[in-house]
Amino acid sequence: ITVLMLYYHQMNKIFKIFFIFIFNFLLMTSQSFTENVNTNEKKIKIGLLVPMTGDNADLGKQIIKAVRLALKDIDNNKIEIYPKDTQSDPNKTLKSANELENIGVNLTIGPVFYNNLLYLDEVSNMTFLSLTNKTKDLPKNVISSGINSTSQINTIKKFIELEKIKKSIFLIPNLSYDLEVLKGIKSSKIKIFKEYNYDIEPTKLTKQIEKITNYERRKQNLIDEITRLEKSDDPAKEKKIKNLEKRYTLGNLKFDSVIIADFDENLKSVITSLLYTDVSPKDFHLITLNQWFDESLLKEKALQPIYYPSINKKNLEDFEEKFSKEFEQYPNYLSLLSYDLVGLIYYLSLKNDLTDT
């Protein structure tokens, strides 16, 4: 089962801090599981809404392969999967959902994309385990099973409590998912010293980080201290001045951790701006959202140590190896979530003793 963990990375060392189970809907769907069994054939019917044609067909095909792999590993003919095409279109998604409902399916994995959820509240008797990581304004019968901001921030909250971190600042880009992050902050009740929104344009970003880190004041502190020592009668002033000249700033930061809600090159730009303002990850806790073990990020020694919530790394590697061996191609991450969802449904079916219903 996919779990969410916080990982600490320094060069090639991965240290598991703790984990939190991200699927918090066990009780919410138990009734759906019970109703999902055909009492004559004693089958568990699961729908699968994915793009099988159109621009995202390759993604859909990989998800179907992952579900096939899960069924092979479970090796129980009580489970039946019914794939239907969404064509990445909300109207087609609704039509396919209605077709699933007509054959007695009331629990469905998918759809993949948030915009395909648009009309699913019209199929009120079905529960959809969507692969989206968005949680804002979901239809009542849709559960976000992606690695969303709320589950990640809950994990970060536990890490902050574990490490006794007192003053965290949260940096949020002015991008389309900023409201999702704010919802996660509110839902998790994580204690934040200050929140800052930033512009991803490099020049504006650097200016904003300078202000957030009080860079000009700390830089002036260094100049003032060197000047003071030069005028002083301190017998060790030359040595002290020489040491100070190796520095760029002087003065403590007003925070002890930075949480950055960004990814890929944008994330690197933020961290680079922090380094430019003489704020090193060695001096505070640098925390980000899930990076899926981004090697380009982890190989940057200047950015270490870095902490981030993620799924279990070994489980991910085991799945990738199994998938590649079976299908001779590398899986995408949504395939792993699909694989886990089938396993989760099967596990709950056993817990609810569905085959004896």
Say what the pLDDT of residue 240 is.
95
For tokens 């559960």, what's the residue?
Answer: 143
- pLDDT for 4 equals 53
Question: Which two three-digit tokens encode residue 253?
Answer: 């930061």
Signed CA dihedral, 324, 327, 330, 331: sign only = negative
Residues of the chain predicted below pLDDT 50: 1-3, 10-40, 354-357
Structure confidence by residue, pLDDT tens digits, 6-64: 655 543 333 333 333 333 443 444 444 444 444 445 688 999 999 999 999 999 999 99
pLDDT in tens, 201-219: 999 999 999 999 999 999 9
pLDDT at 23: 39
Which token pair is 262?
């960004």
pTM above 0.85, yes or no: no
Beta bridge partners of residue 4, listed in sequence order? 20, 311
